[in-house]
Chain A
Amino acid sequence: MKLRYHIHLSGFLFILLTIFVGLAAAQRPNNLIVWGFGVLLAMILVSGVVGSSMMRGLKVRRLDIRRASAGEPLEIRYVVENRSRWRSAFAMHVQEVDRRGKRTSFPMLVQPSDGWLTRVGPGESQICDAVFWPSQRGVLALQCIRLSTQFPFGFNDRSVDHAHPHEILVQPRIHPVRGELMQSIATGELGGFGVSRQPGPGEDFYSVREFKPGDSIRQIAWKRSGISDELLVIQRSVSAPPRLRIVLNLSASPSSLKFDENCGVSAEELEERAITMAASLAGAAEQHGLEFGLSVLGFDTPSIPLRRGYWHRERVLTSLAMIELDSPRQQSEGNEPGEEERSSLVVVHPARIDPRCAPEHALHWSATRFEQLLDLEIGTAQEHDESIRQRTKEGMFA
């Protein structure tokens, strides 16, 4: 950790003013100007001493980050600890920087906001948060945390970079799938409510088993227990929700994708859109209570079985987040959807639909119809990022 000084315009102007007053003091034998010159010099010195001493004994660390999703604010919380016995630290900025100390080296982020602390008293720990806005999914590598201040006079910026490498997996953005589409998927021929092969709190009889401590006496099958010498309880089957298998077809490399090049979207962007569509489908399926699974064609990613629930959705989104589109495409074996799985099948293609990669009953979605299939409430990711960039340029950060 090295204390760095950055002098900015106001600092230069102040130094110029000091020189000017110094020259005036030399030219005009007025002792008040001499004293004023002394005050200006002292302000520069004291500013350096107070600012740098304030930075000593400060520690910063990140609190655990639960989840991050593209297009959603990512709040990172920091704990700033002041180990000094006497000194307070005022007006502290907390920023994420890379190893070279540059702020804007995250390709996945638009310009983040800073963490801010008005004061950290001696021996105190304060928590602050900074809001980031990941613009795309993937692994976001955080490297250093910068603590900086301009206190007390704002002539220069004193900063200390604390190395805290950390990786955050940014999940793909989820857009709502248009309601009628989801209904048509959920009520498909191969989906619908049925009886599961596993025991649970259902209506239909499944089997009997031996009584175990903790079983309710209401579940005891008295007649069967009367026949045998041991207590037996009734097991019932759970009701099975509709099932959906999402297949993301990324087997074709971006250069071999066939699409209208005049649409203003690149092949890579189409693939990203396909991933977003798959994630949106998973999100919608979780919202509608469906069991869903994921298969990715073209990468050596294991197929995720059909399950439901929030944590399963997280698993699917994590799998989608980890797809590296730059890596070479493979002929996936075993990832192709089979006939034996009783589920609706939606195959998401980045460009032109290839019906050969799935059974006949499968639905095929293409990323070229991104806007038609998904409900883009706040515009596309690019539009949103552009809007923030525009506002940044307009000086709202100033």
Chain B
Amino acid sequence: MTLRRRFRFWLLFLLVFSVAAVAIATIRLWLLMLCGPILVSSWYLCEGHRPLCLSRALVNLGSVIALTVVAFSWLMEPDAGRVMELLGLFVLALLVLRQFQERTAREDAQQIVLAAVLVISSTIQSDRFLFGIILLLWVFTLIYVVMLFQVYAGAHGARERRNTFIPPGAFPIAPLEIRFGPRDLTRMRLITISVSLGILLISVLVFVLFPRQILFRSGVPGNRSVQKSGFAETVDLIASERITTSRREVFTLEWIEPGGASTKWARPVLLRGAILERYDSAVGRWVASNTPWDDRKSSLQVVPDRFTELGESRIDQQIQTYTLWFEMRSMATDIFFSPWVPVSITTFDPREITFNRSNMLMTDSGRRSISSYSGYGLRVQPFPAEAALSSLEGGLPAPIVTPRFPVQAIGDFTRNILEEMGVDHDVAEGETIWQRNRRVSSSIMDWLEDNCLYTTDLRDFVQIAGEDPIESFLTRYRFGHCEYFASALTAMCRSVGIESRLVTGYVAIEYDEGIQRYIVRESNAHAWSEVRTGPYQWTGLDPSPRSVLEELQAANQSWSDSWRWVYDRIDFFWNSTIVGFDQRSQKNLSSRFTENWREAFSSTLDSLSALLQSVNRFFRFGIAGYVWMVAVLMILIGFIMAFASLHRRRRHLMAALGVKHQDRELRKLLTTDLQFWSVALNRLARSGYAKRRGESPLAFSRRVRHASLASEDALERLVQLLYRVRFGAQRLNSKERAEAVSLARSLELSRATP
């Protein structure tokens, strides 16, 4: 394969990689299915002996059409967030079109630049694991392609320049010969590998040392797209689009009965992750509360293999206490998901956690390792006694308030509904407020289950300007997913004075009988409501129809689910190590590195000190023994330095005499007898007469004599002696050797002119 053809082949490879990167980043696999074969076909159409290329005019026309389409698309939906996506699409079209035209070396370089722009625009849009792998491969391919391009373009340019010198009818000039054989290719590949490794190493260093603390104000690395299909700490009802049903395993959950047997809980297990109590009707968003009462936090040190109590006083864990083991598969987060109500916790490695007593949520507040936690265990009481709740909440119940919901229309609507159902929303005689809350909220939940349709496709859910999305859900559309159901229940409860809040997390619904564990996937991300049913008690109410949830779960299952854990493991590593690498990880790594280094240094010092002590004890020298050891060490170092210097001189002499390949005895003899030549060479080199490589001693001495005016005789005698020893088999005794060395030292030369 010629150099040009090889370069073009790898360029095509790079372009296909670029398209794959775009397809994965934008989750449009059709792009790869469409553009990939088109690009490959360009190899057969345009790179053969009879290329069928498009004319430049056609390519330019195509480019203009692509630009027009992209511009029109943006004008139809002007959104700054789409700029990179549209730019990527335009560059992709340009790239594919230009691949079908006849290209010069400069245009090949432009193709590389376009591919780079394409991939950079994709990088801004995605941080998925598969995209990361493609990006890594793309970078390695790019390095190879650019190196090939340098050689190809340089050779091409040199040949062009030479051809310019051949006017018609002039003297013929041999064309430039470009050789690029198998050895060149091997060397090129070797240098590519070493350069790639160097770049990888430096880039990882930059990645680790990048000043995230200063630059990332939000503090959370990672793209939102990762969290979009899973758990979210806010609920945004305005974004009405079809939610994805990702089958990625987030974690597994083992539910163990008090007797110790793994079992499936009778109902779907609601795993709480965030409590959202504030609703902003202007933007249709639920966010966490920030009142001081809701922020009563305790810090706990958790160690492995021992459950740490969460309550302020001891909770009886013999009654209705279940043990849950969570094993993370593909999630890096600092939230410990738990069902109502956790009483104790343990983790797979020592951690510091924060327990929020107002809502019983747990987060990791300590130094988290890079890969986040790998698992934890919980003991929960689904039906807790009031004493247990009191202990968990710090013995002080939250004040009772009568909530109001900011959207008036929802209050009217709820009252109408309850009236139609014959449910009185006021506290009846002989009824406590908690009983009223339970009664009315159950009625509302039943109404929602019966009258609203559960769907994940919200493309028809058009937001009406000036109308609250919950109001639209209840009065206009009556279809939506769990966030709408939960929001509606919460809003309706509040509008009739019932304390309620929105909860987000996961619902464990898929139970694997083989491993006796729940498999929790991203598609199991869920939202539900909690209604206050006691001074300390909150009851979880899930208005989403359970049957529909189970149907969706079954419909989404596929044969690949049983193998997904392989991919998910790697994906988890990617998300936790690469995507989730943040300031805390940086700090942790830094402190760990420092600690390890200190430990290694101190342990080395300790072991050295122990060794010295044991040696001292063995010889029974006492305190003076250390002085002796230092002296011996100094002598040893001196000896090593002298040996190294001698060895260096010997090598230098062998190189100067050209006896490297002689047998060992001869080499030893010559290097002993010809010490004077090494001295002479050094002295002459200092005077500015360095012996050239390949120059014979005689030629060297002639050159020196020609240039210098002094010490001619001494040098001549030394050279004669050298030849007699080297080629005349003459051996010198110690006296002669010493004389020769002193003669060499006596060489006095005028300095050579540069």
Residues of A within 8 A of B (CB): 10, 17, 21, 24-39, 41-43, 45-46, 49-50, 72-73, 75, 88, 90-91, 93, 113-116, 118-119, 121, 131, 133, 150-154, 377-378, 384, 387-388, 391-392, 396-398
Contacts and interface: CB of A to CB of B under 8 A. Distances in A.
17 contacts: A10-B109, A29-B212, A29-B582, A30-B221, A31-B222, A32-B579, A39-B203, A46-B199, A73-B165, A73-B173, A93-B154, A113-B165, A150-B154, A152-B146, A153-B146, A153-B150, A397-B160
A388 B135 contact: no
B210 A75 contact: no
Contacts of A90: 147, 150-151, 187-188, 191
Contact of B215 (A26, A73, A152, A384): A26
Nearest to B131: A32
A378 B167 contact: yes
Interface in B485-509: none
B191 A388 contact: no
B72 to A, nearest CB: 27
Interface string B145-169: 0110111011101111111110111
Given A91-B154, A113-B164, A388-B164, 4 more contacts: A46-B195, A46-B198, A113-B158, A114-B158
B223 interface: yes
A152 B187 CA distance: 13
Nearest to A130: B162
Given A88-B187, A131-B165, A152-B147, A30 B223 contact: yes
B157 A397 contact: yes
Contact of A150 (B150, B159, B205): B150
Contacts of A24: 124
Contact of B169 (A73, A377, A391): A377
A28 B580 CA distance: 14
A39 B164 contact: no
Contacts of B223: 30
Contacts of A133: 165
Contacts of B157: 397-398
Interface stretch (B12-20, B178-186, B536-544): B178-186
Contact of A119 (B139, B158, B187, B582): B187
Contact of B154 (A26, A31, A116): A116
Contacts of B220: 29
A320 to B, nearest CB: 20
Nearest to B196: A46
Nearest to B161: A113
Contacts of B169: 377-378
A91 B150 contact: yes
A30 B123 contact: yes
Interface of B: 3, 106, 109, 116, 120, 123-124, 126-127, 131-132, 135, 139, 143, 146-147, 149-151, 153-155, 157-165, 167-171, 173, 176, 178-180, 183-184, 187-188, 191, 195, 198-207, 210, 212, 215-216, 218-223, 578-582
Nearest to A383: B167
Nearest to A32: B127
Given A39-B203, A118-B155, A151 B165 contact: no
A29 B222 contact: yes
Contacts of B163: 396
A151 B150 contact: yes
A30 B222 contact: yes
Residue in A113, A115, A396 whose Cβ sees the most chain B Cβ within 10 Å: A113
A29 B221 contact: yes
Given A31-B581, A34-B210, A121 B124 contact: no
B560 to A, nearest CB: 26
A45 B202 CA distance: 9
A222 to B, nearest CB: 55
Nearest to A28: B124
Contacts of B155: 91, 116, 118
A42 B198 contact: yes
B199 A388 contact: no
A114 B165 CA distance: 11
Contacts of A398: 106, 157
Task: Give the interface centre of B157, B158, B222 by most chain A CB atoms within 10 Å.
Answer: B158
A33 B146 CA distance: 21
Nearest to A384: B167
A45 B168 CA distance: 46
Contacts of A397: 157, 160-161, 164
A378 B166 CA distance: 11
A299 B547 CA distance: 115
B124 A38 contact: no
A49 B197 CA distance: 14
Contacts of B206: 34-35, 37-38, 41-42
Contact of A88 (B165, B180, B191): B191
B151 A34 contact: no
Nearest to B219: A29
A114 B218 CA distance: 55
Contacts of B221: 29-31
B142 to A, nearest CB: 9
A238 B716 CA distance: 53
Contact of A25 (B126, B153, B210): B210
A49 B202 CA distance: 13
Contacts of B187: 88, 90, 119, 121
Contact of B171 (A72, A93, A113): A72
A128 B109 CA distance: 26
B167 A33 contact: no
Nearest to A122: B187
Given A34-B210, A37-B210, A46-B202, A152 B216 contact: no
A151 B147 contact: yes
Contacts of B131: 32
A115 B157 CA distance: 11
A38 B165 contact: no
A42 B203 contact: yes
A31 B124 CA distance: 10
B264 to A, nearest CB: 38
Contacts of A391: 164
The 3 A-B residue pairs with the shortest CB-CB distance, nearest first, are: A38-B206, A38-B203, A42-B202
A46 B193 CA distance: 12
Contacts of B162: 113, 131
Nearest to B159: A116
A107 B618 CA distance: 84
Contacts of B210: 25, 34, 37-38
B251 to A, nearest CB: 22
A31 B576 CA distance: 11
B368 to A, nearest CB: 16
Contacts of B188: 90, 119
Contacts of B198: 42, 46, 49
A388 B166 CA distance: 9
> Which has the most chain A C-beta neighbours within 10 Å: B120, B132, B164, B216?
B164
Contacts of A35: 203-204, 206-207, 578
A93 B178 CA distance: 13
A119 B171 contact: no
Among B154, B180, B195, B202: residue with most chain A CB under 10 A: B154
A384 B168 CA distance: 10
A152 B184 contact: no
Nearest to A94: B158
A38 B211 CA distance: 12
B586 to A, nearest CB: 11
B96 to A, nearest CB: 22
A30 to B, nearest CB: 5
Nearest to B184: A119
B219 to A, nearest CB: 8
B369 to A, nearest CB: 17
Contacts of A378: 167-170
Contacts of B171: 72-73
A145 to B, nearest CB: 16
Nearest to A114: B158
B150 A33 contact: no
Given A42-B198, A113-B161, A31 B167 contact: no
